Amino acid sequence: MPKTYEPISTQTLSSAVTGVTFTSIPQTYTDLVLVINASASTAANAWLSTNLTDVSSLSGTRLYADGTGAGTARTSSGNDFVVFTAYDQVTTTAGNFNAVLNFMSYANTTTNKTIITRSNNASAGVCAAVCMERKTGAITSITIDMVGTGTYSIGSTFTLYGIKAA
């Protein structure tokens, strides 16, 4: 049986950084899955961008809840990034924040790119988001950063997997 779900790269932070980028992503998979377990110097929301992103290409819709209510919000085009978390989920406590981002048909060059995510922090809330990169190019790099001036803390992990369909 050929390998279907393969690790591509893992970044475990040995120093605090404002963002993490995966470059030269192989174009040999069907979907990408990015798994994040992180904390930050200051509680903040996380955002993503790709090599395709410009100020008019990327938007997103979020659905979230924190135990007292549910909400929904959009990030419209106009920025060169899109927020995929809520409630400043990337908190300062190590291990509390996790997220799984699915980059569907990322190497396809005929359709726009959709990214669908789930993020969790039991001390903050839960969130689901769908993000649309309205460009048909292939995704070759992904950047995860955060709103504001905070940094991702030492020990935060970012693991990129590839999934290959038959």
How many residues touch another protein under the rule CB under 8 A: the total is 45
56 — phi, psi (to 5°)?
-120, 10
From candidates 128, 137, 138, 148, binder to another protein by CB under 8 A: 128
Quick one: 80 or 118, whose CB is closer to another protein? 118
Binding segment (CB under 8 A) for another protein, from list 17-25, 39-47, 90-98, 132-140: 132-140
Scan for tokens 């393969």, then name that residue. Answer: 6
Of 102 and 143, CB closest to another protein: 102
- Distances 64 to 6, 52, 76, 142 between C-alpha atoms, Å: 30, 27, 17, 24
Does the protein bind another protein through residue 11 (CB under 8 A)?
Answer: no
Q: Classify the phi-psi angles of 70: left when phi > 0, otherwise alpha if psi is within -120 to 50, otherwise beta.
A: beta
Candidate ranges 44-52, 53-61, 90-98, 138-146; the one touching another protein (CB under 8 A)? 53-61
Tokens of 140: 């070759």
In the numeric block, the tokens 């927020």 are attached to 83
Dihedral sign of CA atoms 40, 43, 48, 54 in order: negative
Contact pattern from residue 59 through residue 98 relative to another protein, giving x for each residue in contact according to CB under 8 A and a dash for the rest: xxxxxx-----xxxxx-xx---------------------
Q: Identify the DSSP state of 56.
A: T
148: left (phi over 0), alpha (psi -120 to 50) or beta: left
- Binding residue for another protein (CB under 8 A) from 16, 80, 118, 147? 118
Residue with smaller CB distance to another protein, 1 or 68: 1
CA angle, 143 then 149 then 151, to 5°? 60
Query: Which residues would be at the binding site for another protein (CB under 8 A)?
Result: 1-7, 10, 30-31, 59-64, 70-74, 76-77, 102, 104-105, 108, 110-112, 114, 116, 118, 128-132, 134, 136, 161, 163-166
